[in-house]
């Protein structure tokens, strides 16, 4: 067992820390509250090659290992979790195109996606279908050499910039089981009938847009079908969501670490009753529990990523990491607010933003209650074990 990062991973982490300290942390509070889109930050992420993290080197990407992938989301989320979200959906889309696309689709999209010249997202969730993706109602009907798509997608990150947007559809609504009738179509930006109807207001997760997308008789050529064969959309989406759970777990870890860091620093500065509050046992107990939970979450996130890197099935492990890390993020953000007292409720301090961002980690990429079911099912099947 080796719990140490490689030299390459440490260098990658350090370069990201420098980037975050220089370009994200100084502006995150102001830009988040004003609703300013972080265009300048995105441009730097392009130059760092971060849009190509899940793109194979053969197509111009970084093709980083999954531990480095997790490190990227952890470090960026320490500065501003919303910015990390811009990379998250893009990375999942790149992964499914690289893994499941035809060679023509890879050559067409991946080089520009790797540089950030193009961006992508994932059109999965609908008004009546979130975690239960088999419940989607968006359809794609074959018409000659085209598919005609009709439906609505919700909570789509990068919707205004996605080119293409992989969209999960039903190509055979009567199929049983339902997943056999599902496919993914790659919809190019500007395709007639594709529109962003509105931006959805959110408690947190600002900096990136989350949109409602309407597909009204959107006509795409048959070669837009991911992989070139119908009926594999559910499996393709789930393979992307496996990387998605790693990135959400790592984002949660970044929030938790930032909350702990803020609480520790504040406790050593704030005075009450003639001494720094870090000297009070009640505060020390909070800090000790926070840092223990954060480090445990980090080990789980890196562990699940390393299993993915070994080419093993990792849905249970990534589910465990996302479940634990997201709960730690929620608890750490609340405990940091308690350490701050009244100032923790003020928009002038970072813990207020962390407190609003943390709940999404419990919901995103599969709600935690559903992940508990996934973990239990894996254990009861006898195919997975722990220890």
Kindly provide the residue ranges of all beta strands, DSSP E only, lying in the chain, ordered along the sequence: 139-143, 146-157, 165-170, 182-187, 194-199, 210-221, 271-272, 275-276
Homologous superfamily of 133-231: Butyryl-CoA Dehydrogenase, subunit A, domain 2 (2.40.110.10)
Band of residue 130 on the pLDDT scale cut at 50, 70, 90: confident
Could you tell me where in the chain the CATH 1.20.140.10 domains are found? 235-380
Instruction: Indicate if the pLDDT at residue 387 is higher than 70.
Output: no
pLDDT, position 85: 94
User: CA–CA distance from 203 to each of 33, 297, 358 (Å)?
Assistant: 11, 24, 10
pTM > 0.85: yes or no: yes
Active-site residue set:
365
Closest CA to 14 of 80, 71, 92: 71
State how far the Cα of 151 lies from the Cα of 182, in Å rounded to an integer.
Answer: 14
CATH topology of domain 7-115: Butyryl-Coa Dehydrogenase, subunit A; domain 1 (1.10.540)
Could you tell me where in the chain the CATH 2.40.110.10 domains are found? 133-231
Closest CA to 208 of 54, 70, 28, 355: 28
> 235-380: which CATH architecture?
Up-down Bundle (1.20)
Integer Rg of the chain from CA: 21
pLDDT tens profile 176-198? 999 999 999 999 999 999 999 99
Three-state DSSP at 221 gives: strand
pLDDT tens profile 53-102? 999 999 999 999 999 999 999 999 999 999 999 999 999 999 999 999 99
């Amino acid at each position: 067992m080796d719990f140490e990062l490689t030299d390459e991973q440490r260098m990658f982490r350090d370069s990201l820390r420098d980037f975050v300290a220089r370009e994200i942390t100084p502006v995150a509070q102001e830009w988040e509250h004003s609703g300013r889109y972080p265009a300048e930050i995105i441009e730097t992420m392009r130059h760092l090659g971060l849009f190509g993290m899940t793109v194979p080197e053969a197509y111009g990407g970084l093709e980083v290992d999954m531990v480095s992938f997790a490190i990227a989301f952890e470090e960026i989320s320490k500065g501003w979790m919303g910015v990390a979200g811009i990379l998250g959906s893009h990375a999942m889309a790149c992964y499914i195109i690289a893994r499941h696309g035809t060679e023509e689709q890879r050559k067409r999209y991946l080089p520009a996606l790797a540089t950030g010249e193009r961006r992508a997202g994932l059109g999965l969730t609908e008004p009546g279908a979130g975690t239960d993706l088999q419940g989607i109602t968006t359809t794609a009907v074959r018409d000659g050499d085209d598919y005609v798509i009709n439906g609505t997608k919700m909570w789509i990150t990068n919707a205004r910039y996605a080119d293409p947007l992989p969209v999960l559809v039903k190509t055979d609504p009567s199929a049983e089981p339902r997943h056999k009738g599902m496919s993914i179509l790659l919809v190019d930006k500007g395709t007639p009938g594709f529109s962003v109807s509105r931006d959805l207001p959110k408690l947190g997760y600002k900096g990136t847009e989350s949109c409602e997308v309407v597909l009204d008789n959107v006509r795409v050529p048959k070669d837009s079908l991911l992989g070139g064969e119908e009926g594999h959309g559910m499996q393709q989406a789930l393979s992307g969501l496996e990387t998605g759970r790693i990135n959400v777990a790592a984002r949660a870890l970044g929030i938790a670490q930032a909350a702990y860091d803020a609480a520790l620093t504040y406790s050593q500065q704030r005075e009450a009753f003639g001494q720094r509050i870090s000297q009070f046992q009640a505060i020390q107990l909070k800090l000790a529990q926070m840092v223990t939970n954060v480090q445990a979450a980090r080990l789980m996130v890196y562990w699940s990523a390393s299993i993915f890197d070994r080419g093993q099935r990792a849905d249970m492990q990534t589910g465990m990491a996302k479940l634990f890390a997201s709960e730690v993020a929620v608890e750490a953000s609340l405990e940091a607010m308690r350490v701050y007292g009244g100032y923790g409720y003020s928009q002038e301090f970072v813990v207020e933003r962390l407190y609003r961002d943390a709940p999404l980690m419990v919901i995103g990429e599969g709600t935690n209650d559903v992940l508990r079911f996934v973990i239990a099912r894996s254990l009861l099947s006898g195919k997975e074990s722990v220890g």
